[in-house]
Amino acid sequence: MPVPFSEAVDFVTLGFHVSDAPANRMARPHRHDDIEITVLEVGWIDYLFGGRRIRNEAGQLCVRWAAIPHQSIDFAPGGIHYSLKVPLAWFLNWRLPESLVNRLLGGEMLIEAESDPGSSDLAMLRRWHAAFVSADRVAHRMILLEAEARLLRLALRLPQAEESSATGGITSQLGKFERMTVFIAGNYTRTIDVADVAATAGMHPNSAMRLFRQACGLTILEYLTMHRIWHAQALLSDGRLKIRDIATACGFNSPNRFYAAFKRIVGQQPKDFRESLRPRP
């Protein structure tokens, strides 16, 4: 089960990202609203995750919902730590088996060694990192497709439990902040407001806004807008879609609000962002 929020937990904003970095100790726990897939090159890392100490050995695939506070507290020196971060909303849109979704959103860290002959999760993460730094949008799509397939393979190996809605039945097991983040991730393309988000946690809107800002340093509306802009960035990679239609598909009821939010978060206008994705000679 997720531990209650503590002021000693940092919230960071990441989104789709692949990194490679030496294993290290974290000075304090942090959290971010992504599904995180990691593989360690050599040695081991000990995590505090949701109040539990868990060891991740080299070569093992480690999957977690990073909104659960986590911290690397000890490690064997010399290993490179590869990590893929996928926004929660993208993960939910994959419609993976609920046996997997419910366990991750319920606060479990899933660890597995690849059992298929000739397969290597370490080689897969190395390939994803090379593709990510290439800044090739087709290569980025390959990363997401392979990640979805790998998680499906993991899900098929899990013991099957009675299934319920990935964004509904599991929320009774989550803390209030986590319930609100799951609701936003599953509904950000619809017209929702602070009262809708607060209701999913059984809270008054004012209390929900205070808790949300305390938990991650963002307002509910800022967090909702961030999800919508992440979705817009993905849709802008398709040159056939009109920007006005993308704004509507991402939950914005006004093109002007979409343009202003996109410029504020991304640092450039949607048309300039789309142009930056086009292949160069």
Please give the CATH superfamily to which domain 175-277 belongs: Homeodomain-like (1.10.10.60)
- Measured distance CA(137)–CA(122) in Å, rounded: 22
Mean pLDDT in residue range 34-44: 93
Residue 38: pLDDT above 90?
yes
Matching CATH number, 10-157, of 2.40.50.140, 2.60.120.280, 1.10.357.10, 2.40.30.270: 2.60.120.280
Give the pLDDT band (50/70/90) at residue 150: very high
pLDDT at 89: 80
pLDDT at 4 over 60: no
What confidence tier does 251 reach under pLDDT thresholds 50, 70, 90? very high
Q: Where in the chain are all domains bearing CATH 2.60.120.280?
A: 10-157
Q: How confident is the model at residue 121 (pLDDT cuts 50, 70, 90)?
A: very high
Enumerate the CATH 1.10.10.60 domain ranges in the chain, comma separated. 175-277
Predicted local distance difference test score (pLDDT) of residue 34: 86
Q: What is the dihedral of CA 169, 172, 174, 176, to 10 degrees?
A: 120
Residue 92 in tokens:
């939910």
Can you spell out the DSSP letters for the chain?
Answer: -PPPP-TT-EE----SEEEEEE----SS-EE-SEEEEEEESSSEEEEEETTEEEEEETTEEEEEETTS-EEEEEE-TT-EEEEEEEEHHHHHHT---HHHHHHHHTTPPEEEE--STT--HHHHHHHHHHHHHTT-HHHHHHHHHHHHHHHHHHHHHSPP-----TTTGGGGGS-HHHHHHHHHHHHTTS---HHHHHHHTT--HHHHHHHHHHHHSS-HHHHHHHHHHHHHHHHHT-TTS-HHHHHHHTT-S-HHHHHHHHHHHHSS-HHHHHHHHSPP-
pLDDT at 170 over 50: no
Kindly report the average pLDDT of the chain as a whole number: 83
Q: How much of the chain exceeds pLDDT 70, in percent?
A: 85
Rounded Cα gap, residues 142 and 264, in angstroms: 29
Q: What is the mean pLDDT of residues 27-49?
A: 87
Q: Return phi, psi of residue 271, to 5°.
A: -65, -35
Q: Give pLDDT tens digits for 85-110.
A: 998 888 888 989 988 988 887 778 99
pLDDT tens for 72-84 read 889 998 889 999 9
